[in-house]
Amino acid sequence: MNRNRGGTWVAAAGLGFLTLNSGLAAWHAGGDPGSTLFVLGSYAALLLLFRCLRDYERAPPGSPARERARRAVWTLTTLLTLAFAWKVAAVMPSAAAAAVVWGLAVATTAGGFFALFVQA
């Protein structure tokens, strides 16, 4: 039995759900260009992230391709983290709550850098 068959089906279902959800979010943006751009940009970044993660997993350890993929993974996760922090901080009831959101985003980004580049 092929073990990848089940994983492929689950990945395709997840990608389909992500695509449907992103399409609905863009449609519900109601013509707001900023919201539509945010949804489409996040969707594109997630697709690129999934591709880079796959490239990372398939590349041999220590290869230049694996290093490129690792740098791309960190860059894309940082982009997504900061984009979502920007949207969440904008709706926080106070500046202190927004500062907490930004602090968590920076801590997450720094932790990802440490895990991918310093610790590895």
Q: pLDDT, tens digit, for every residue of 50-95?
A: 999 999 999 999 899 999 999 999 999 999 999 999 999 999 999 9
SS3 of 38-64: the string is HHHHHHHHHHHHHHHHHHHHHCCCCCH
For 24-50, the pLDDT digits (tens) are: 999 998 888 999 999 999 999 999 999
Please name which of 70, 20, 29, 26 lies closest in space to residue 49, comparing C-alpha atoms: 70
For 67, half-sphere exposure in the C-beta direction (CA atoms, 13 angstrom radius) is: 3
Q: How many residues are listed for the chain in this entry?
A: 120
